[in-house]
Amino acid sequence: MPDAHGFLTNLALVLCVAALTSLLFQWLRQPVVFGYLVAGMIIGPHIPVPLVADPEMVSALSELGVILLMFSIGLEFNLRKLLAVGGPAGIVAVAQSAAMVGLGYLVGRVAGWTPAESLFTGAIIAISSTTIIARAFAEQGVRGRVADIVLGILIVEDLIAIFLVAILTAVGEGGGLSPREFAATTLRLVLFLAGLIGVGLLVVPRLVRAVVRFNRPETTLVTVIGVCFAASLLALSLGYSVALGAFIAGALVAESGQERRIEPLVAPVRDLFVAVFFVAVGMLLDPAVVLEYWWIVTALVLLVIAGKVLAVSSGVFLIGEGLRPAVQAGMSLAQIGEFSFIIAAVGLSTGATREFLYPVAVAVCGITTLTTPYLIRSAPRAAALVDASLPGPLQTFVALYGSWIEQLRSTTARQGGTTRTRRLVRVMALDTVLLAALLIGLAIEFPRLVALLDGRLGLSPVIARVVVLVVAAALATPLVIGLVRSTQLLGLALAVRALPAPEARKVDLARAPRRALEVTLQFALLFSVVALLVAVTQPFAPRIPAFGLIVVAGAVFFLAVWRSARNLQGHAHAGAEVIVAALTRQMAESGAGADMDRAMERMHAMLPGLGEPVAMTVAEGSRAANHTLRELDLRGATGATVLAVVRGDEQTLAPRGSTELRAGDLIAVAGTHDAVQQVRGIVSDRQPEAEEQLPPASRHGSTDEPRTR
């Protein structure tokens, strides 16, 4: 009975203290997660308070919170939805993880740590926290496309974390980063996922539907929780994360079609153990270590927030999601969590890192956990500020880029992928792998090659080094040229698919937008390759100026986009003039209505690259009437851009933020289909009642709705 007594004592201590602190933080109108972290610090071993819980027992209980939370996420994110966002989300997840590993490694080397400790530091800050984000989204009511994108990125990041744990375990134990170990790890993971999902689809949905027919909630709850823990146990037994098994179990249960009946049953149990998880995190916070290493904790916190916001926002925007969702996704993912603890524990247990790194990781996690709700809440305002700060050409580019990617996706869906595009992707991937292998091999074998030339050919060490570098440069040059050529051809192929070239001897009206899209895709691919090469080769070649290379590549990318955006601005201005002339003529002939829609359809055919230009009238008493474009924040809230405003004989091309809309104004709007429809709702709706005039975040607690002022 002593064990039972100890278990009851610890559970009572955790829940009672957590209840008091969460009530306090709710009274202070702060996220309850803060209260759970403070509760953990109170009952932890690092603060002299006569309330100390057993860390191992609390940690074991917190594992249940991770499992149940991942299971709940799986219930809302079934396999079809995973496949729908998996591709774009995977690109963003891989790019940002590679960038953060490289930056973390650089910080570790600047701090004077060993290469192994620096590599573990990069891995620790690379993976965001599913637990923290899901909790923050639930509290703030974030739903819709942004939530889907963020959760898709998190799922891919969890898979990346599994790879990192396996590879870093080999590094910590002295096994090294051999290609054989990497291939074996990949094959094992693929076989595990294929087996679990394949068998699960045959068994779990049928089992859940059969149990639900009994109409006994307790039986249903016990069954689905049993499936959840069975999948988690299977994943753990095969060396994978319990979170991955729990998520797959939730997705399999969701395939039964009964997720809406199951989720309310699981929610109370999940919330209980998620609270225990955050208390366990708070128990690991050691104020003494934080004070001793305050400078490195501060540096890593700033790197996590700034690096992830920039990397994720850029990636999400480049896949065509628009500026506002991109900034929201980036600010939502600016933290680290449970996988960071696992990676830090691997380094500590294998002896690859010193003891200080684990509490540093916990401190960074705790601080970024505190900042996450504020970042999510302020994301819409930050997106509007970023948009307002952009120069005119970049604003036009940002507004139209999403429509080009939308057109590219629709064209690909109708026609299917081309053989040439797939071949270019394979060639680019092969050149990248060969170049990485050459750089890593040169860094590892450089001293031996120099000694070989010195001993056998009698060359001096200086000449031997020069010969080795010249030979390496000769081998790398064709690969670099091939990468540049492949990215150029791939960017052109994708741009032509989105904005087809005209027939021979016809005027190319889409030349400027097609060129802007081509240049953006080409240099984005090149920048991604450079960042990936830096992240992979930096542990083996620390003398390479990684940060300088990334800065130079980013500057070249920005200058290329800026130059094409300036050319695009002239195209958009000329298009606005044509649209205004057409609208004025149409109004003089037959007035507004269906004829106006047909006129805009003709403009869309004549002016490709301007998204879906649509004409709409500002209704009497609408939310847009008697407000400036800056007050409405149409571009920040919807992603669309207003090309022109027609008011009788008065015409305004490319209106500025100070332009006021009035009832009866005819406006021409361009952007993606969804963006244009959101603007239509704003300018057509009647003025809401007092309660409805509140911002969407105030009405529904959601930051994922169009914002109007």
Residue 705 lies in a domain: no
Helix (H, G, I), strand (E, B) or coil at 149: helix
Structure tokens at 301: 């916190």
Whether this prediction's pTM lies above 0.85 is answered by no
Model pLDDT, residue 304: 92
Model pLDDT, residue 303: 92
| C-alpha span between 28 and 22 (Å, rounded) | 10
Question: How confident is the model over 444-497, as pLDDT tens digits?
Answer: 777 778 787 777 777 777 788 888 888 888 888 888 888 888 888 888 888 888
**Strand order through the sheet with 614-617:** 614-617, 666-670, 641-647, 650-653
Pair 685, 628 in one domain: yes
Domain span holding position 491: 398-554
Query: Percent helix, strand and coil across the chain, each rounded to 5?
Result: 75, 5, 20
Pair 656, 524 in one domain: no
Torsion of CA 115, 120, 125, 128, to 10 degrees: 150
Phi, psi torsion values for 670, nearest 5 degrees: -130, 150
Pair 142, 180 in one domain: yes
Q: What is the Cα 502 distance to its own chain's centre?
A: 36
CATH classification of the domain holding 601: 3.30.70.1450
Q: What is the Cα 103 distance to its own chain's centre?
A: 17
Residue 381 lies in a domain: yes
Model pLDDT, residue 183: 62
| C-alpha span between 376 and 332 (Å, rounded) | 5
Cβ–Cβ < 8 Å for 255, 300: no
Most confident of the following: 82-86, 560-564, 607-611: 560-564
Pair 662, 590 in one domain: yes
Model pLDDT, residue 305: 92
Residue 302 pLDDT greater than 90, yes or no:
yes
Structure tokens at 96: 């940002």
| C-alpha span between 267 and 68 (Å, rounded) | 9
Pair 407, 372 in one domain: no
CATH classification of the domain holding 65: 1.20.1530.20
Model pLDDT, residue 266: 86
Residue 409 lies in a domain: yes
Residue 669 β-bridge partners: 614, 642
Pair 385, 421 in one domain: no
| C-alpha span between 31 and 704 (Å, rounded) | 19
Residue 107 lies in a domain: yes
- Number of continuous H segments (helices) and E segments (strands) in the chain: 26, 6
Pair 173, 207 in one domain: yes
Model pLDDT, residue 68: 83
CB count within 10 Å of CB 500 equals: 13
Which of 519, 554, 589 is the endpoint of a domain? Answer: 554
| C-alpha span between 290 and 627 (Å, rounded) | 50
Structure tokens at 634: 């149409």
Burial code (b: 16+ CB inside 10 Å, e: under 16) for 548-585 equals: ebbeebbeebeebbeebbbbbbebbeebbebbbebbee
Residue 179 pLDDT greater than 70, yes or no:
no
What are the angstrom distances between the C-alpha of 661 and each of 164, 352, 643, 666? 54, 63, 13, 9
Residue 84 lies in a domain: yes
Pair 482, 593 in one domain: no
Which of 351, 369, 389 is the endpoint of a domain? Answer: 389
Smallest CA-to-CA distance from 323 within 397, 407, 269 is with: 397
Cβ–Cβ < 8 Å for 171, 114: no
DSSP string, 387-431: HHHS-HHHHHHHHHHHHHHHHHHHHHHHH---HHHHHHHHHHHHH
Model pLDDT, residue 705: 37
Question: How confident is the model over 659-693, as pLDDT tens digits?
Answer: 888 887 778 777 777 777 778 878 776 544 433 33
Residue 197 burial by Cβ neighbours in a 10 Å radius (0-12, 13-18, 19+): middle
Pair 173, 253 in one domain: yes
Structure tokens at 203: 């068994």
- In the predicted model, what is the mean pLDDT of residues 52-68? 79
Model pLDDT, residue 80: 64
- pLDDT band (50, 70, 90) for residue 301: very high
Residue 67 lies in a domain: yes
pLDDT, mean over the chain = 77
Helix (H, G, I), strand (E, B) or coil at 127: coil
Residue 622 β-bridge partners: 686
> What length is written for the chain?
709
| C-alpha span between 482 and 486 (Å, rounded) | 6
Residue 709 lies in a domain: no
Model pLDDT, residue 503: 66
User: Cα 653–656–661 angle (5° rounding)?
Assistant: 80
Pair 492, 446 in one domain: yes
Q: Which of 344-358, 498-512, 596-610 has the lowest mean pLDDT?
A: 596-610
Question: How confident is the model over 631-661, as pLDDT tens digits?
Answer: 777 776 677 777 778 777 777 777 777 788 8
Residue 700 pLDDT greater than 50, yes or no:
no
Question: How confident is the model over 240-283, as pLDDT tens digits?
Answer: 777 778 888 888 888 888 878 888 888 888 888 888 888 887 78
Question: How confident is the model over 276-296, as pLDDT tens digits?
Answer: 888 887 787 778 877 888 888
Widest distance between CA atoms in the chain = 91
Q: Give the rounded percent of residues in the chain with a pLDDT score beyond 70.
A: 81
User: Which amino acid does the sequence have at 608?
Assistant: P
Half-sphere exposure of 358 (CA within 13 A, CB side): 18
Question: How confident is the model over 512-533, as pLDDT tens digits?
Answer: 788 888 888 888 888 778 777 7
| C-alpha span between 536 and 395 (Å, rounded) | 34
Residue 159 pLDDT greater than 60, yes or no:
yes
Model pLDDT, residue 690: 35
Q: How many domains does the chain have?
A: 3
What are the angstrom distances between the C-alpha of 261 and each of 71, 80, 202, 208, 493? 14, 19, 21, 11, 47
- In the predicted model, what is the mean pLDDT of residues 37-66? 80
Residue 297 lies in a domain: yes
Pair 369, 435 in one domain: no
Which of 494, 519, 554 is the endpoint of a domain? Answer: 554
Pair 423, 366 in one domain: no
Model pLDDT, residue 691: 36
Question: How confident is the model over 304-333, as pLDDT tens digits?
Answer: 999 999 888 888 888 877 788 888 889 989
